[in-house]
Each structure stands twice: as C-alpha cells, then as structure tokens.
Amino acid sequence: MAGELLDNKGRGDAAWQWPAIHPEGRKIGLIATAVSLAFLLIFDWEIIGWPLLALSGGVFAFFRDPERVVPQGDTCIVSPADGIVSAIAVVEPPVELQGDDGTGVLGLPSGAVVRISIFMSVFDVHINRAPIGGMVRRLVYIPGKFMNADLDKASEENERQHILMERGDGVAIGFTQIAGLVARRIVPFVKPGDMVAVGQRVGLIRFGSRVDVYLPAGTDAKVLVGQKMVAGETVLAELGKQQLLEGIAH
C-alpha cells in the first residue's frame, strides 16, 4: 500500500549468513535444474546435462540476496548497486527526473550535478537498494536498446528505469537502472508513494548492467573510479549543511 514503510532486514546485523535466493531467480533456477536432471537421468546425455546443471547453480548465484548492514547517518548516501565505479562525471540529470511530472510532484532542479555510474557484472549481486531513506516520488520506465551498459550513451539509449526519492527534509536524489547486453528485464519492488528506508531493496536488473546515481547539487563523490561498491553499505557521498538547507527550502 502506498505510504507504507517497507522493511529493511539488512539493518544492524553484521553476522554472515548464507544468502537467500530472490524469487525471480528461484523459478529460473528450478526450471534449469529440472531440464539438466532430465538430460542426466532420463536421456543419459551427460555432455549436455552436466553443463546445464552447472548453469543452474550459476543462475541461483546470480539471484542471491544477501543481508546488508546499512550505515546509520543522516548525511549518508549509500550505493544502490554492487559493482565497480565505471565513471564519475558532471552532467545534467535526465529530463524524466527534472521538473513537474504533471502530478504536482517536483523533480530534481536543472543544472549540472555529479553522476556516479556503477557497472554490475554477471558475478555481482543484482538487487538494487535505496541510496537514501524517504518516499518514492517518481518511477519512470523507458524502453530502449541493449548496448553495452559500460558505454556513456547507454544512459540515454538503453532500456532504463528512473527512480526519484525524497527525504522528509526535502533532499531529493535520482538514480537510474540501465539494462545492458545481457540484462533483459528491470524489475521494480516499489512504486510511487512507498516509504523506504536507506538500504532497502527497491528492484533488480536481471544478469547485471549499470546504475547511475545523480548526487544533489553541491555534493561531491567520496568514491573513485575503479572502486568496488557494496549496495546498501558503501557510502557514495555525504550531504553537507548547504544541501540540507537547500532540501528544506525546496
């Protein structure tokens, strides 16, 4: 239900656990396992059955959903994705995240901001998490191409989903899930009006891709290109007093 505060199971528990498998991956993995067992036990085609069985294990690993320990600070902006920082650039936010969307909900202001791009390989966790806590103000899906997500133009041409979030003090942040060569589906877990905690699961991209984060104006990145990100745990940036005051004014 819109406005409901969604659970954040990863908060505060640092003990390692065997990661759960997200339901999106369970059905695919079970189908692949059943097919591989059929080749092994019924048709006795080991040359096909064993590779398929290994692929089944890979599918389960692709959709692992580990718990995360979220930094507890009012100024923290955490990474929404696992992966490697592939680029940090100063750009205009996407038009879908700016201005009034026709419902009276204001988006990000115009003007150049820092964009942090995080590339997710097929070996990374695919669950994406909220970089801040607050309300989901906007969710915009755009069909597009499936070129290499590591290319800069993928931000404008690939299939993607924009998410705009706003904290209770008015600070807003936008981020974009971008499909790539292998990824063929972006799955949202939230909808406009939902209240989510920082580090809460908000969606996934099947089989890796990229997530772009647009920091609030005047906020600098605390990470470097090539640095490994952990969704819900790595701090991308910290809000300063100026950003907090501008958020309240906005």
Residues acting as catalytic residues: 209
**In sequence order, what are the residues at sequence separation of 6 or more whose Cβ sits closer than 8 angstroms to the Cβ of residue 202?**
80, 128, 129, 130, 136, 163, 188, 189, 190, 196
d(CA 229, CA 235): 9
Helix 23-37 crosses helix 46-62 at what angle (to 10 degrees)? 170
For the stretch 51-80, what's the b/e string if a residue is b when 16 or more beta carbons lie within 10 angstroms of its beta carbon?
A: ebbeebeebbebbbbbbbebbeeebbbbbb
Contact present, 157 and 93 (Cβ < 8 Å)? no
The secondary element (H helix, E strand) that includes residue 178 is strand 172-178
Continuous H helices in 63-187: 154-157
